[in-house]
Chains A and B, each alone.
Chain A
């Protein structure tokens, strides 16, 4: 509902993702520019918010980056943006039947997401390279 109310929509008018300055440098992301997030299921485009609040994690001696994405956007209303649900598998919490998957692996690249058959080709290519499809 908040996307349909002008007073709320103007407070956070577009979908965005938060990345660390380190990840932005590595991938060539620019503040307020477009980024494409790709998972095994689909790809979405979001605006980039580079922030020191996101810091790379040190796991097993290697550097792992995080991308923070709020979930509350879609095509409807005044505050629009791609839906993060497109990236997720459907897994419901058994008690309350609410989407329970909140963390997943993804790739991030600068630029907008292709639409139509080109989007499918992009995701197919990722799947093939990841060995998910023969």
Chain B
């Protein structure tokens, strides 16, 4: 199961952000992004169009980006006001899950990635491991938090809070193969309507993270939305690195042994 977020119909209402926080009891994030302060006197504007959330974090599991992109042909046409609801991608090859030493991060029966708050010890290894910069540690709590894909709702056959609240069905929840089919159809429809820049992001199971459990239909390049264009699971090179380290250690051991043997001979 996963999300398909069709940004072509997103109206930027931020209902997903609020619904997510209400259902999951995530605190309001008042201070500058990442500061984790909940002192509401520190609320401030970011000066980034209507986006005053900034990015995903421990206290922000859905983030609606507002991008004011210049028209395709400079000087012709209106500014393109792009809106997109970002979320944890629930990668098929999830680096956060690979590096978690306590087993707090698990793969659920819905193929989603879930942090068990009662197991997490707050080591923070998962934070730099995420290729999207999604998971973060809540400073006043110490533990890592991110989108749970509403595990407590899906377990009982309910739709995640954000998808349930979305008034335009920009956020869709369902089995991944069905969502991928739906996304392909929508992309075709948009291309036929002349939206040449429309593209799917995270749909391909052959990409660097094995495909995203939450993928997107974007109306421009991923960089425009602040998404990495070619994400790679950060633990991809770990086995190779360990192999090289093991080879180096073995070589060193042989060299030491040879030195002892040769030394005794003299």
Contact = CB atoms under 8 A, between A and B. Distances in A.
Interface of A: 6-14, 16, 31-32, 47, 49, 51-53, 78-79
B18 interface: yes
Interface in B77-99: 78-79, 81
Q: Looking at chain B, what size class is its interface with the partner chain?
A: 20 to 34
A52 B68 contact: yes
B45 A13 contact: yes
A45 B176 CA distance: 49
B70 A52 contact: yes
Contact of A51 (B41, B43, B68): B68
Given A12-B52, A16-B45, A52-B68, 6 more contacts: A10-B28, A10-B40, A10-B52, A13-B44, A78-B41, A79-B43
Interface of B: 14, 17-18, 21-22, 28-30, 40-41, 43-47, 49-50, 52-53, 68, 70, 78-79, 81
B43 A52 contact: no
A61 to B, nearest CB: 21
Given A49-B49, A52-B70, A14 B44 contact: yes
Contacts of A32: 45-47
A96 B81 CA distance: 34
3 shortest interchain CB distances as A-B pairs: A32-B47, A13-B43, A6-B28
Contacts of A31: 47
A52 B18 contact: no
A52 B44 contact: no
Contact of A10 (B22, B30, B47, B49): B30
